[in-house]
Each structure stands twice: as C-alpha cells, then as structure tokens.
C-alpha cells in the first residue's frame, strides 16, 4: 500500500506542502492527551493535598492551554483546507484532460458508467483519504506509549498487550477490506451505468410498458452494492467491538493494579488518573491508527481507479 500512497501523493503534487501540513497537524492528539492528563493529575493532587493554590493554578493553566491548542489546530486546518481542495481540483482537471486525450477505442473499452464513476465518486474518495488523521494518531500513540513506559514499565507492558489485538485485527482485516472496497467501486460503477440506462431509456420504457422490466433487469447493482457494503460494515464493526472488549478488559486490569498502588500509598490518585488517561491514549490511539489505515485502504480503491486512467496517459 505504501508505494501506492506514494504515487498518489506524487500525483497530487506539492508533496513538500503536504508534508508540512502533516507535520503541523500531527502533534494535536499528543498535546491534547498530555494537557488533559497533567491537568487531572495536578488538580487532583491539589485536592488531595488540600492546596487551593495548586488547584487554581491547574485550572488556570488548563483554561489557557485548551483554547490555545484549539486555536492552533483550527489555524492549521483553515490554512490547509484550501490547499487540499485545490490539489483535488487539479487532479480532477488532469483526469478530465487525460480522458479527453484518450482514443475512441480506449473510451469504448469501458462502459460509460465506469467512466462516470471514475470521474466523480472515485475522485471524491481521494478527497476523504485520512492521511492527516493517521499522522495525528500515530504521533499520539507514540507519545502516550513513551510517557506510559516512563511512568510505569510494568503497567505500560499490560496496556501495550491490550492494544495489540486491535493492531493485529487491523492486519488481518486489511486484505478483505481492500478486496471488498475494490468490489464496491466496481459495483458502484455498474450501478451508474444502469442509472444511465434508466434515465435514457425512460421514454422508451414508458411507451412500451417496460418500466418494471427495466427496474428488474437493470437494478442488480443496487443489491450488489448493498451486499458489499454490509460485509464491509460487518468487518469494521467486528474490529470495533473486538478492540472495545479488549480495551475494557485492559482498563479493568490497569485500574485494579493502580487502585491497589494508591491504597498502598505507592501512587497518588492524580497520578493514577493521569496513567489511565495515557492508557486511553495508547489503546484508543492504536485503534484509531488501525481505523485510519483501513479507511485509507477503502479510499485507495477509488484512488487506484483514478490513477489507472492517469497512468494510461504515461504509457502511451
């Protein structure tokens, strides 16, 4: 998948600008986790030790830092969105130009619906490739794991073990998700072809009382799409439920051990809450990274079909 994402990035152009955006955007989740964890730890320590000053200092810091972080993230978003939109528009233009330059035999080789789907819904899929979410969650995951290891190596190991199933599931699902996404793109383009028939043939169908026949004969695509979508949703759902269950088990273990440590006086309540928060950063981060990778696979099925047309241009 890596090389295909690479060639997509190349096709979109201005990779430096894209990298800059990804870099600027990536610290968001890590910062938010650290901010919340240290706020909870600080505020709860203040409460535990009966220090008003410590509590208010935490509150003040939190109320400044959170809007600051949002402002930063919003600014990065706002400056990036036009860039991304213009890249997609440029890709579309290149695609249209490419299609216009095709020979009639190349055009005839594919059904009209297939062309329509490539020029519309497949390009739109590229629009939704969550590259920047991936960057955000990878950094969040790495930072949370690092901090957790520094706080308590043993608990960190347990947490990492509970995050592993989500990652493994992602690996196992990658192949079927990719295959189903490809099948879904084909089903969508078949359906576009059928809809074209439905619209163009409308008057003829009406004259010859053939509407029912037309719907029966030409709306199979609908069923195929539904079937593939259901399977895809089932796979994604299984992955979500699986990671949720394992994650909950992990919470229980970490919470029990951590609570015993607090009772034994080896850890503060604030420290435990912060630890739980970093645990969430690792488990949720891992599952988000897996989700992003699966979503990228789904979107790449559309991107592949676009690139196929663009590549066709280079070989001739």
Partner 1 sequence: MNAIEFHGVSFSYRDETILRDTTLAIPQGARIGLVGPSGCGKSTLLKLVAGLYAPDSGTLAVLGETDTERLHRHVAMVLQPPLLFPASIRDNITCGHDMPEERILAACEAAQLSGWLRGLPDGLDTYVGERGNRLSGGQSQRICIARAIARQSPILLMDEATSALDVPTGAAVMGALRSLMKGKTVVSATHDLARLEGFDRILQFREGRLHEIPS
By beta-carbon proximity to partner 1, the closer residue of 112 and 268 is 112
**CB-neighbour burial class of residue 108 (10 A; exposed 0-12, middle 13-18, buried 19+):** exposed
Residue 165 C-beta: closest distance to partner 1, Å: 47
Report the C-alpha gap between 131 and 25 in whole angstroms.
11
CB-based contact 125:304 (threshold 8 Å): no
Length of the chain: 316
Determine, following the binding rule CB under 8 A, whether residue 156 of this chain makes contact with partner 1: no
Determine, following the binding rule CB under 8 A, whether residue 75 of this chain makes contact with partner 1: no
Determine, following the binding rule CB under 8 A, whether residue 131 of this chain makes contact with partner 1: no
- 112, 222, 251, 268: which one contacts partner 1 (CB under 8 A)? 112
Residue 202 C-beta: closest distance to partner 1, Å: 9
Closest CA to 309 of 141, 123, 78: 123
Report the C-alpha gap between 238 and 244 in whole angstroms.
10
Residue 198 C-beta: closest distance to partner 1, Å: 10
Determine, following the binding rule CB under 8 A, whether residue 70 of this chain makes contact with partner 1: no
Contacts of 91 (CB under 8 A, 6+ apart): 11, 12, 123, 126, 306
**CA distances, 67 to each of 32, 63, 72, 177, 218 (Å):** 11, 7, 8, 38, 54
Determine, following the binding rule CB under 8 A, whether residue 207 of this chain makes contact with partner 1: yes
From 58-66, 119-127, 156-164, 214-222, give the range in contact with partner 1 by CB under 8 A.
214-222
Determine, following the binding rule CB under 8 A, whether residue 200 of this chain makes contact with partner 1: yes
Determine, following the binding rule CB under 8 A, whether residue 91 of this chain makes contact with partner 1: no
Determine, following the binding rule CB under 8 A, whether residue 199 of this chain makes contact with partner 1: no
Determine, following the binding rule CB under 8 A, whether residue 218 of this chain makes contact with partner 1: yes
CB-based contact 96:119 (threshold 8 Å): yes
> Which residues contact partner 1 (rule: CB under 8 A)?
108, 111-112, 193, 197, 200-201, 203-210, 212-214, 216-218
């Amino acid at each position: 998948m890596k090389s295909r994402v690479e060639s997509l990035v190349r096709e979109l152009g201005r990779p430096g600008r894209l990298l800059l955006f990804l870099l600027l955007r990536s610290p968001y989740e890590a910062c938010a986790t650290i901010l919340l964890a240290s706020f909870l730890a600080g505020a709860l320590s203040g409460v535990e030790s009966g220090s008003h000053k410590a509590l208010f200092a935490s509150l003040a810091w939190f109320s400044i830092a959170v809007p600051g972080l949002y402002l930063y993230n919003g600014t990065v978003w706002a400056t990036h969105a036009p860039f991304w939109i213009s890249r997609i528009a440029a890709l579309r233009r290149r695609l249209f130009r490419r299609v216009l330059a095709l020979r009639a035999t190349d055009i005839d080789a594919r059904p009209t619906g297939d062309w329509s789907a490539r020029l519309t819904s497949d390009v739109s899929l590229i629009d939704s490739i969550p590259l920047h979410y991936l960057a955000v969650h990878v950094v969040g995951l790495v930072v949370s794991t690092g901090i957790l290891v520094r706080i308590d190596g043993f608990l960190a190991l347990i947490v990492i073990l509970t995050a592993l199933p989500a990652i493994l599931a992602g690996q196992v699902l990658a192949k079927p998700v990719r295959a189903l996404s490809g099948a879904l793109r084909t089903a969508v383009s078949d359906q576009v072809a059928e809809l074209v028939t439905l619209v163009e043939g409308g008057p003829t169908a009406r004259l010859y009382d053939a509407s029912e026949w037309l719907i029966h004969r030409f709306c199979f695509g609908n069923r195929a799409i539904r079937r593939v979508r259901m399977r895809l949703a089932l796979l994604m759902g299984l992955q979500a439920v699986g990671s949720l269950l394992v994650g909950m088990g992990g919470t229980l273990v970490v919470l029990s051990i951590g609570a015993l440590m607090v009772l034994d006086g080896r850890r503060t309540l604030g420290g435990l809450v912060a630890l739980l928060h970093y645990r969430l950063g690792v488990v949720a981060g891992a599952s988000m990274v897996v989700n992003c990778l699966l979503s990228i696979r789904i979107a790449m099925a559309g991107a592949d079909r676009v690139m196929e047309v663009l590549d066709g241009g280079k070989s001739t």
